[in-house]
Structure 1
């Protein structure tokens, strides 16, 4: 099977420094079929490191408001906005105090974010959010695979049944890959995209990158896997940018890559050799243009 790579996603909002004054519209390539901004993160409340299922928006809700989202999407029809659930820090590990209580609380608190805090102002219907999707993004998981599958599966199923048109993605990385594989295989029809964090691994050549990608699409399918690059300096030695871009270019030319994502905008502002360099180069690869 093959795929026409046409998706670009950008994480934004989880780091306060340097400040971002709204969505960086100048990085949006209008030739991209699907461009998603992913707000990070909707984070849980913890008591003695145990999650309670009480989620709140951890990004600046004044900067990334309903009004700003709807204005952005009206201007750029190819853009959608997604919220990411979980977190990239060990302080926000998946570790429910009680899996059934957590699941019930998570359903309610996430629904409130989507349908109260981000209720669409352009539609009178009760099930329409200004947010287009959710992204399951736990870099740390401290429970069994069975509990992860049970809790996340129930929450995703509930939100999809209560919110119109919700697109759902997962964001695995190597340390927790087995949890996400089990989650995906139990819910293949519920997950539209897989943002794999390639930057968590040491990948020094195009061949190594492509071998990793082949293993991933064997599980998650070629239509769903997006290749991820991080502009965070903590990951700079894992995958050289030239290797990432060369590998993505080759995978796109062989119809083996659905898209690319970058994490994240706050780091990309100060990325060398220029701000948002990776975002711009990645979209050029996806569109086959120099724009």
Structure 2
């Protein structure tokens, strides 16, 4: 293994946009080889199970972000001017947006149709779709590992004909589901955004050891480490632990990239706006 990842990647989730005027392009560090914005979330509709009162997904996805702020024209501009890619993230945060299909085959069919509509109709310009990829980001999963891998796998297979980038966003509570999906579709998944902020990571050694364990499943080339600036995600891993751990992983060529969630929360980050984003990209390009 070389001492440096050749083309590190940085990814930024946009979750909510009340305070944003559009894509926060000031985040983009000129020396970062690959930069992705992830629009979150394309979420599905649900019905209630009359017996269990649980939410059952129907697979009809719609964009929940501000489509006027993040229009096809604005995406085309950020891609052409900054070389960034734009990905739509499917799912949602917490129990309000579970993966729990009412009927697997109907869910798959609806998901294909509704996501294709977003990608090829809602986000098209004269040159075709401006969307580069999708990100699977369910934080709460009610179905079995097998059903999750089967349904999401079928949708990934279909959408790969329309877009080039597919990522998944596992966290500790649902890790086994994403492992099952990845093992079923290793050649279809380009990036793995692991949410370290969803579990207690007390020190640098724990962080480094956890990342190296996850490499065994997801590979060093695809596994990215995630940090969150969202107030609801504070407390599990400190910025100091994350940065020091990232440095150690980079020095051993064990970290291909970093992602941060989310841009709106990072507006108020200390000691300055988008501090974490800037620090992370400098680490990745070894220019800190």
Task: Check whether TM > 0.5.
Answer: yes
In the alignment, is the contact (CA less than 8 A) between 1:40 and 1:87 conserved in 2? yes
Q: Distance in 1 between matches of 2:21 and 2:207?
A: 34
Q: Distance in 1 between matches of 2:190 and 2:197?
A: 21
1:124-179 Cα shifts (integer Å, max 9, x gaps): xxxx4201010000000000111101100000101112x1x420000000000000
In the alignment, is the contact (CA less than 8 A) between 1:5 and 1:286 conserved in 2? no
1:231-278 Cα shifts (integer Å, max 9, x gaps): 012222111101100110111111110000000011101112211110
Q: After TM superposition, what 4+ stretches of structure 1 lie above 6 angstroms from structure 2?
A: none
Aligned to 1:118: 123
TM-score (structure 2 length as normaliser)? 0.95
With 232-241 and 61-70 compared, the bigger mean Cα shift is at: 232-241
- TM-superposed CA distance for 1:205, in Å, is 1.2
Q: Distance in 2 between matches of 1:210 and 1:170?
A: 21
Give runs of aligned pairs for residues 244-255 of structure 1, distance below 5 A. 244-255=242-253
Alignment root-mean-square deviation, CA: 1.2
Aligned to 1:139: 139
Q: Distance in 2 between matches of 1:89 and 1:70?
A: 31
Aligned to 1:64: 70
1:186 aligns with 2:188: no
Size of the aligned set, in residue pairs, is 280
Aligned to 1:278: 276
In the alignment, is the contact (CA less than 8 A) between 2:7 and 2:33 conserved in 1? no
1:97-142 Cα shifts (integer Å, max 9, x gaps): 1000000000000000000001133x2xxxx420101000000000
Gaps in structure 2 of 5+ consecutive residues: 49-54
Q: Distance in 2 between matches of 1:132 and 1:245?
A: 29
Gaps in structure 1 of 5+ consecutive residues: none
